[in-house]
Amino acid sequence: MKKLLSLTLMLTISMSVVALPIFQDPKPEAVSTSLTNKDVLDMVKAGLTSDVILAKIHSSATSFDTSPTALADLKAANVPDAVILAMVNGPAKPADATPPLDGIINVPDGTEIEIQLKSNASGEELKIGDIVDFVVVRPVQVDGLTIFEKEAAGRARVTTAKRAGHWGKAGKLEWAMQDVMAADGNRVPARFTKRLVGDSKGGTVAVAAVATTVFLGPAGLLWGLKKGKPAIIPAGNRYSVFISGDTKVKGKPVEVSSQD
């Protein structure tokens, strides 16, 4: 009788346990957040380089405010132009997993390439017609193929070169972009004009010379010996250039182990 009572009790307890509902804490859903203007400003304030910020933009979902007012605020906060441009363009589109069989990529007009000045460029040394050398900062890749390699050569041609002169006349240096070397060894035309005018004090020095001559006679002419600042652009300055006209480039397979 005791055994029967014990067996009945155990069966009742087992059924009760089975009947009890099992409650589990729901797994927290992953929150998908988009990159915003504030995130970019925070990264700039944290001292992150443009390369790091650009990589984050290109690999993230974004929700940027690119209205004229917002862009002006970004510029006022010293956000680099390359970062602002990336915000306007949005994240990079995912590359096609299957590159063309012949490796030929159609490169549309306006494709952007970031380049940097290879050596100092000075209006004191360069002459009209001289070549200014650049190198590509990061590779340009399309459909799993590299169409412009890192360190590829770019060329611009000097259109204006004036030395700093007396009477506070600043030096002047202007150039026009010529081309960028593609991965297949062909030079692809690119468009870009960079103009730099030195810190001119022409008006101030000229007026001072006239005023001094009135009161001090010929001694005032010494003002004219003060030179304006030369136009000098240091090596490493970065610029965005754009492919001029639709073109075709035979790309090279992207190396997984390569680092930008």
Q: Go through the domains of the chain in sequence order and give each one's CATH number.
A: 35-94 (no CATH), 95-253 (2.40.128.260)
- The single residue listed with the structure tokens 């468009």 is 191
Under 8 Å between Cβ of 137 and 238:
yes
How would residue 76 be classed by pLDDT, with cut points 50, 70 and 90? very high
Amino acid 139: pLDDT: 92
Higher pLDDT, 130 or 20: 130
Counting every residue, how long is the chain?
A: 260
How would residue 98 be classed by pLDDT, with cut points 50, 70 and 90? low
**Looking at residues 50-57, what average pLDDT do you find?**
87
For residue 242, give the nearest of 97, 140, 95 by alpha carbon: 140
Q: What are phi and psi of 13, to 5 degrees?
A: -65, -40
CA distances from 147 to 56, 181, 207, 238 (A): 22, 9, 55, 20
Higher pLDDT, 184 or 209: 184
